[in-house]
Structure 1
Amino acid sequence: MLNKTIKIAAAGAFMLGATTTAAFAGATAQPGETAGLAAGAPLPEGVYFVNTLDWGVRKLPGTDAKLLVDIPVLAWSTPWTILGANFQVLGALPMIHSDAGTSDYGLYNPFAAVRFAWDLGGGFGASYLSGFYFNAGDKGIRVPATTWRQDFAVSYTGDGWNLTANLLWGITFDTSKYSPFNSTPNGFNLDLTATKTFGKWEVGAVGFGSTQYDLPTGYGGKQKQFALGPLVGYNFGPVILQAFVTRDVYQRNMGGKDTRFWSRIIIPLWTPTPAAAPLVTKY
């Protein structure tokens, strides 16, 4: 039960991410960032820290594009409900190191969001997230625009399973003067999870896809990809570690296929103290 609770907490905390324009020229949310998490399930009350580090290489003609992303996230699951939904507040300051012929390192677009998650009963849950990547951060690292991000997730977390689909929709505006073109592409990401816990261990598979749409003038073509890979996790109680590897099985207009290594640590910083049991007196 503890493993399930913290995994759901991480889903709330980790619904943030990054993709540097130096390497992928477009989408603000990192494809695959919520893979492995029960993004559709309500989050137990408390404050949570989730740090995800991933590193990958995309094989390109003449050179390789290397990308290291670190996403430290804080999430507060409040004691309040709105329209029957658990209400959460999230924030992150992602950092990126990219090397695609030239090396860049710095702060990616800061992110803030709110999330509403409903318990539908029978192990099923659904959630909606609304937040913004702000047009700030280091030039050459950040996406030069403000992005409104919306997530629509469903999860089944009964019997030790985590079966989750999370659709991320990004709409960009307020493009800065540093943009190489007149505006930044909008896009969809789809993150998928199918894992099962056995005692303290978790094993399964993850997948993710991304596609651009409404491509502005000046771009060579819509970028698309889909990746798959295995996941393993371990519950140290209460800290949880996850690790997984993904590899593109399909890509279009991205120059080559990407292989990526992911690690995640989930730490509950604060949870409510259970109420003391009432004293019982025999007469």
Structure 2
Amino acid sequence: MMKNWLAAGAVALTVGMTSTIAQAQTTTVPGEQVGLAVGAPLPEGIYAINTFTYRRPDAPSSALSGSADTAVNIPLLVWSTPFVPFGGRVEFLVAAPTVFAFSRNPAGVANKDISINVGTFVAGVWAFDLGNNFGVSLLGGVYLNDLNGDRGSIITPQGTTATPVLGQLSSNTYRMGVAASYTGDGWNITGNLTANIYDSPGRFPGQVGAAIGPLRISDSLNFDLTATKKFGNFEIGPIAYGTYNFDISQASLAAGNRGRFAIGGLIGYDFKVFTMQAYVARDVVTGAQYANAFGRVRDNYSTDGWVRLIVPLYSAAPAASPVPTALVRKY
């Protein structure tokens, strides 16, 4: 059962949002799929999954550093269909991610906590069981930012306009992914690659969009790695993830920030009627930087915390075994 829910959770994390407000990067959250058997096909059924992540950068929250704590909440519905063309199960999913930012301003300084709606994410997965506990999957989808994503600016506590908040939302995000998993003997050994492609330059609509002008968005590639092991109902093991921005020129939203790589650990527990996982990871490499109070440039490492809840709402009943009948032979 845990193996099936790990696969369900893999689909849950096909949605997400950048984990920083100050540094533009991939729309899909780096690390959103670690700890999950992304390559394994789901059993036929319907799944409700919620994923929450909270990220804290080293830089203090201030106008100087432009830093803030950020969080992402991702409610998701997954339908694993009975269709298996060419042996691969077809799965559909829909989600509405929300991004939050928390200023951490000290006493005496106005706080400005905000929430941002990411465009609805719709996608399909084609997942194959290759036998011997190996599986592979292909994903294609889009974040519909042009349809219902939030737009370009906020009003700061000082009454000034800050734009753009998340420049990625000036374009739909087209997502493609490929993953492979081994799930034998309680292991979950998974590697996953996720590409985010944009209509660059992107543009916000209306007067705000006209004032901001076109935004050059870097295409990007995420990589998620897992090597966990089950011991009874418990699961534990190391995880790692990162992101790579292709365009870091000064004209790009990812200017000077090639990406990041984080390492951490995961624990999980199978409660039978639902599954929970939690993990923490810390950057070991980062392209994000900030200037401290003395004007010195420092690498802006971050620490991420994650929690997942996976609840099957419906599972197709297994096919009933035929009733044995007497075998009659005529000689």
Given the two structures, how large is their TM-score scaled by the length of structure 2? 0.79
Letter of the 2:36 counterpart? L
Q: Secondary structure at the match of 2:169?
A: coil
Match of 2:101 in 1: 98
Match status 1:60 vs 2:59: yes
Query: What CA deviation, in whole Å up to 9, does each residue of 1:23-75 have, x standing for no partner?
Result: 33131111011111000111111111111111111122664420011011111
Partner of 1:137 in structure 2?
149
- Correspondence for 1:235: 270
The answer as to whether partners of 1:51 and 1:70 remain within 8 angstroms in 2 is yes
Q: Secondary structure at 1:143's aligned position in 2?
A: helix
CA distance 1:76–1:138, change in 2 (3 Å): same
SS in 2 for 1:79: coil
Asked whether the 8 Å contact 2:221–2:245 carries over to 1, the reply is: yes
Q: Deviation per CA, 1:206-257, whole angstroms, max 9, x where unpaired?
A: 1101010034652331331000111100000030000111110110134401
Q: Which amino acid aligns with 1:111?
A: F
Q: Which SS does the other structure have where 1:22 is aligned?
A: coil
Equivalent residue number for residue 154 of structure 2: none
Superposed CA deviations along residues 137-184 of structure 1, whole A, max 9, x for unmatched, are 222456221111001101111111000011001110162233665321
- Which residue in 2 is equivalent to 1:89? 92
TM-score under structure 1 length normalisation: 0.92
Written as runs of structure 1 = structure 2, the 5 A alignment for 1:163-182 is: 163-173=189-199, 175-177=202-204, 178=209, 181-182=214-215
Partner Cα separation in structure 1 for residue 213 and residue 308 of structure 2:
33
The residue aligned with 1:7 is: 6
| Residue pair 2:263, 2:282 contacting (<8 A) in 1 also | yes
Q: Residue in 2 aligned with 1:186?
A: 219
Cα RMSD after superposing both structures: 2.2
CA distance in 1, matches of 2:214, 2:25: 11
Does residue 121 (structure 1) correspond to residue 156 (structure 2)? The answer is: no
Select the residue among 280, 286, 300 that pairs with 1:251: 286
Contact 1:37/1:193 (<8 A) preserved = yes
Name whichever of 16-25 and 193-202 sits farther off. Answer: 16-25
- Cα distance in 1 for partners of 2:195, 2:325 equals 58
Matched letter for residue 153 of structure 1:
A
Which is worse superposed, 220-229 or 112-121? 220-229
User: Could you tell me which amino acid in structure 2 is paired with residue 190 of structure 1?
Assistant: F
How many Å separate the matches in 2 of 1:180 and 1:27? 20
Distance 1:207 1:218 in 2: 30
| Range with bigger deviation, 181-190 or 132-141 | 132-141
Query: Moved runs in structure 1, 4+ residues, more than 4 A?
Result: 276-282
Structure with the larger strand share? 1
- Note the residue ranges of structure 2 that are not aligned, 5 or more in a row: 106-111, 152-164, 291-299, 327-331
Taking the TM superposition and a 5 Å limit, the aligned residue runs for 1:260-279 are 260-278=304-322
Q: Sort the Cα spacing of 1:104 and 1:62 in 2 relative to 1 into closer, same or farther, 3 A.
A: closer
Asked whether the 8 Å contact 2:53–2:307 carries over to 1, the reply is yes
Which AA in structure 2 matches 1:211? Y
Amino acid of the structure 2 residue aligned with 1:267: V
**How far has the Cα of 1:276 moved from its partner?**
4.2
More moved, 18-27 vs 90-99: 18-27
**Unpaired stretches in structure 1, ≥5 consecutive residues:** none
State the secondary structure of the residue aligned to 1:4: helix
Structure 1 residue 91, shift from structure 2 partner: 1.1
